[in-house]
Structure 1
Amino acid sequence: MKPEAFLPDDYRPAESEPFMNDRQLEYFRRKLVNWKQELMDQSAETLGNLTESGRNVPDLADRASEETDRALELRTRDRQRKLISKIEAALRRIDNGEFGYCEMTGEPISLKRLDARPIATMTLEAQEKHERREKVHREE
């Protein structure tokens, strides 16, 4: 792993720079690490809430409401777990030099797309093509 590149606090990747240079890679690495930490903190909070809400509620309506809330929290937690694994995969792509390039075409993924969704593995065009293909197969 390379040493961290210096990044000013207001740094944003620019199209005028060489694509996926050290500064851009460090920017996205930090963005992913911070996002992962936020999700981990939220997960810990969710687990605390689930433990706290495990009490026996005698009123049926209250109990049903609590069970619904619990199911929603568990679904949210499951989505967060899947997102964390995608973040970890993106961090591995940074380490092995594959980050920022479409897994289908090998073309660079736009900086705008990566900034909005740093776990993206395809260009917007490849993603749309993939989703259209998926939809056709689902309808068959």
Structure 2
Amino acid sequence: MKKTDIDYFQNMLQNELDALLAKAGIAVVELIGSVYTNEADPLDRATEEESRNNQLRIRGRESRLIAKIKKSLQAIEEGTYGICEECEEPIAIDRLKARPVTSYCIDCKTKQEAFERVTGN
């Protein structure tokens, strides 16, 4: 992979990481504030709880994405970014543009997903 490509992905990943971390900080404050609301109506409480659960689910997904971005940035530092963890072949630039945190080429990921469907893991 060319240096310009590496720089492009590093900047994109760092910008996305910064945005997610900023968003997470705001969300934590909002979630903490919503814990102390005391809705009198059971329907209002249920609605508030459902909203909080949805926010927590979203934050969980974002947390996993943050971990993947950090792993990708570490791979850039180590010089292994864009190399498939399974077959050790280069991952296509188009695939990295579509999913910059991927660590598998499309063939290996397809095989992995097929195996997961068959085994249920």
Other-structure match for 1:37: 18
RMSD: 1.2
Q: Which of the pair is proportionally richer in helix?
A: 2
1:124 matched to 2:106: yes
Q: For residues 39 and 21 of structure 2, what CA distance do their matches in structure 1 show?
A: 29
Equivalent in 23, 41, 66 of residue 84 of structure 1: 66
Please identify, of 68-77 and 41-50, the stretch whose mean Cα deviation from structure 2 is larger: 41-50
**Alignment map for 1:47-58 (pairs within 5 Å):** 47-54=28-35, 55-58=37-40
Matched, 1:108 2:56: no
Give the share of equivalent positions with the same residue, in percent.
35
Deviates more, 1:54-63 or 1:43-52: 43-52
User: Is the deviation greater in 39-48 or in 97-106?
Assistant: 39-48
> What TM-score, normalized by structure 2, do the two folds share?
0.93
Structure 1, gaps ≥5 residues long: 1-19
Residues 62-82 of structure 1: per-residue CA shift (max 9 Å, x gap): 110000000111111111111
Whole-Å Cα distance in 1 between the matches of residues 40 and 32 of structure 2? 18
Instruction: Provide runs of 4+ in structure 1 moved above 4 Å.
Output: none
Letter in 2 for 1:23: T
